[in-house]
Amino acid sequence: MGNVVINVGMKEILEMKSYYSMHLVDKLPPGSVFAAKTPSCMITAYKSGKVLFQGNGSEQEAGRWGGNPAPASAKVAKGDLPAGIGGMSVIGSDEVGTGDFFGPITVVAAYVKKEHIPLLKELGVRDSKDLNDEKIIEIAKVIKDVVPFSLMTMKNEKYNQVQQSGMSQGKMKAILHNQAILNVLGKISPEKPEAILIDQFVQAGTYFQHVKSQKAVAKENVYFSTKAEGIHLAVAAASILARYAFIQYIDKLSEAAGFKIPKGAGAQVDVAAAKLILSKGRDVLPSFVKLHFANTDKALAIVNKKR
């Protein structure tokens, strides 16, 4: 649990205050301008221009403001994101399904103009991990007509084929993110985003290594951050749309299977895959699951026990 202190101007402090408006706390320490408490971080901004971040998410939160690290700070703020990125017009991208045994990988890039940020907030767009499927569907149905976006779905057959040919999941993701971003850039052209923010799954250098053989690569103003859903609503919107697509796909698989397909990669998917093999045969597996997961062998072991 780290503490980070950055030094910023009053303009930035007011910007931060509005950014954290949902999380402001009433009780202010002496000399402070505002204090806010997010699920991962306590933020206190002082009239002196010092802003203190405390808690697990302190580096993450401080990183989005990019102020000068104060000399006394134990840790240096990341500062690799443009200051105030949370209020810019941004293309965000995120993916869903990489850790799920059943179902595809869905990647969405979405463009959220700064004018649309209040509306999206109003609609309840936030970290999709805090939202249940019902809420995801409800929000996705509205925002899909508000924000320009591109959905890339890597279906299971293709995924297994590409994976068996030796491509890492990281490379697949990078290619899908790049393509989704290019699609959105094409859709909004000649307008350009002020920044492109990718929910980070590999280091920037690795990402660009992965996509270097692609016909076109989005490079200009591309930034990476972990937990980027919390940095700009474009990533949160992308994540909601990606999860919506994933849920819909799982529904289709459930229909084809004749029973409800579970998400994740826990014991419940082993049981479901075994049930699928017993009713439809082993040959259908490649169109339902990510074969290289350890769950495949576990499902087969269950089948063998039952036979």
Instruction: Choose which of 12, 59, 61, 94 interacts with Mn ion (CB under 5 A).
Output: 94
Choose one: 113-121, 171-179, 199-207, 219-227; the region binding Mn ion (CB under 5 A): 199-207
Choose one: 62-70, 84-92, 197-205, 285-293; the region binding Mn ion (CB under 5 A): 197-205
Asked if 100 interacts with Mn ion (CB under 5 A), we say: no
Asked if 199 interacts with Mn ion (CB under 5 A), we say: yes
CA-to-CA dists, residue 252 to 259, 273, 288, angstroms: 11, 15, 10
Nearer to Mn ion, 199 or 270 (CB): 199
Choose one: 37-45, 46-54, 139-147, 192-200; the region binding Mn ion (CB under 5 A): 192-200
Nearer to Mn ion, 105 or 302 (CB): 105
User: Minimal distance in Å, beta carbon 97 to Mn ion?
Assistant: 11
Q: Site for Mn ion (CB under 5 A): how many residues?
A: 2
Nearer to Mn ion, 61 or 94 (CB): 94
Nearer to Mn ion, 58 or 225 (CB): 225
User: Minimal distance in Å, beta carbon 180 to Mn ion?
Assistant: 13
**In the complex, residue closest to Mn ion by CB:** 199
User: Minimal distance in Å, beta carbon 140 to Mn ion?
Assistant: 16
Contact residues for Mn ion, defined by CB under 5 A = 94, 199
